[in-house]
Structure 1
Amino acid sequence: MTRRALVTGATSGIGHAYAAELAKRGYDLVIVARTTDRLEAVATHLRGRHRVEVDVVTADLATVEGVARTVNRLTDSARPVDLLVNNAGSSLAGWFGTTDIADEDRQLDLLVKAPMHLMDAAIKTMAGRGGGQVVNVSSVAAFTPRGVYSAHKAWLLNLSQWADIHYSDVNISVQALCPGFVRTEFHERGEMDVSGVPRWMWLKADKVVAASLRDLDKGKTVSIPSLRYKLLATLAQYLPKSLVTRIAKRGR
């Protein structure tokens, strides 16, 4: 039987790379994002290139309505989803304490509440029909004290690690993908200054996704693409937090 994946934030960056690679592997897709025109363009391209079915869901996952619309699609028993990729995200340019708290609330909804609700729906649905897979796009920032964004990603990393263990008996595997700096629209949309980030720290979205899916096939709970970031994540756990915090502020 053809497998089906639901990918959020699928019109650009890592989400688009997941959609393209999964279509190449023969998955039918459900792609989710805020902009219908961009979703339809991606869907048309993937249908034509890979001869797969691609359903489009226009939804803002920072809203209750957008999450509900996506949950409804996840729980559609007539067109079951075998793999959920929680990728949609954004960040703010300023540090917590200087930003608008309403913007921080929206980030909390998008980066924590939305993936929690989608995971909940996916796990309950997958457990009832023999299993499935979830990939949560966290960040190497989860290993560093780096403000609200890293706190959100640390939450997602922790939940993913627990869920992978807890639901293994019903054949559900959960992965936290923890990339570093990736060449996408992410930093530009967040109006973040990344001029101080060295070239060697940048990764390509397709390489990040390839590493994630290889690790998913191997059953790895945490996927950190590239040796350089594996080393940095390890150091971040053992170096003094004051030093890690100073280093992590670079490129913000």
Structure 2
Amino acid sequence: MTELPDADRLTALVTGATAGIGAEFARQLADRGLDLVLVARDECRLRASAAQLAERYAVDVQVLVADLTVPQERAAVEARLASAPIQVLVNNAGFGLPLDFDLNPVDDEVRQLDLLATVPLRLTHAVLPQMIARRSGTVITVASLAGYAPLTTYSAAKAWAVVFSRWANAYYRPAGVTITALAPGFVRTEFHERMGIARESMAPRWLWLEVEPLVRAALRDADRGRAVSIPSLRYKLLSLVMGAIPMRLVTANARRTRWARRR
């Protein structure tokens, strides 16, 4: 994923590319000299981001306006992945739900599961044949450290990305393809604000990560062929113990916070 001459320019496709982790992936990949295909739902914001990146980094930036939970719109992204060479795919699009499982509309739960698990599966499946044929390619799926603990349906969906990437990286690395799950903890982005949850209620200040070094570490880990990228020493240590903590303790804080909203 290093910068190449114009005749050999590479292209990266990033979903959820207008904010937070996705926007930072787009910026850092453009800084490496890769052309971009940016995917998001907000056309105005998407085109503004594309124009800024093209001007700043002198790369070609295309946009695909798509809601990836809508089959027809997702199919257009799958077709783009299959029709022209993509060197890097970043599966970043996602959202969380603010209420308990029993309070969320079931259709919202299904949309969340689709976006966090089904969509990365389908997009990875679409891009893999050309990567294998070229014996070169990288897929990064933004998972979460939450995937290491039994917290919510969000955690369950993110666990899929971690398990899938571990298997797929081992299976496809001999074919020249790296598949990496990025599993951060709390990151300073718009994610929690969109859920209507104040950051201060989620975690102490020392647990929050900045997006720029997080993405830089993820790209470095993918360059090294790692199946999972966990940013920062504190989260690496947490990942080692989360599975051993009794479920009643893991869920206690989340239950207190969320159940208080029912009253």
Cα deviation per residue 1:102-152 (whole Å; 9 max; x = unaligned)?
Answer: 111111121111111001011122112223110000000000111100000
Secondary structure class of the residue paired with 1:167:
helix
Task: Give the alignment partner of residue 83 of structure 2, picking from 76, 96, 119.
Answer: 76
Cα deviation per residue 1:156-186 (whole Å; 9 max; x = unaligned)?
Answer: 1101110001112211110000011111111
Counterparts of residues 8-87 of structure 1 (less than 5 Å): 8-77=15-84, 80-87=85-92
**Matching residue of 1:108:** 113
**Matching residue of 2:247:** 241
Q: TM-score, normalised by structure 2?
A: 0.91
Cα deviation per residue 1:48-95 (whole Å; 9 max; x = unaligned)?
Answer: 111001110000011102210111111123xx1001000000000011
Secondary structure class of the residue paired with 1:75:
helix
Identify unmatched segments of 5+ residues in structure 2. Answer: 1-7, 259-263
Moved more, 216-225 or 133-142: 216-225
Task: Give the alignment partner of residue 5 of structure 1, picking from 12, 34, 39.
Answer: 12
**Matching residue of 1:172:** 177
Task: Give the alignment partner of residue 186 of structure 2, picking from 173, 176, 181.
Answer: 181
Q: TM-score, normalised by structure 1?
A: 0.95
**Matching residue of 1:159:** 164
Q: Does 1:230 align with 2:233?
A: no
Q: Kindly report structure 1 stretches of 4+ aligned residues shifted beyond 4 Å.
A: 247-252
Question: 1:195: Cα distance to partner?
Answer: 2.3
C-alpha distance in 2, partners of 1:235/1:27? 38
Q: Does 1:220 align with 2:193?
A: no
Whichever residue aligns with residue 55 of structure 1, its letter is Q
Question: 1:241: Cα distance to partner?
Answer: 2.7
Identify unmatched segments of 5+ residues in structure 1. Answer: none
**Matching residue of 1:204:** 210
Aligned length: 250
Question: 1:238: Cα distance to partner?
Answer: 2.2
C-alpha distance in 2, partners of 1:43/1:98? 38
Whichever residue aligns with residue 180 of structure 1, its letter is G
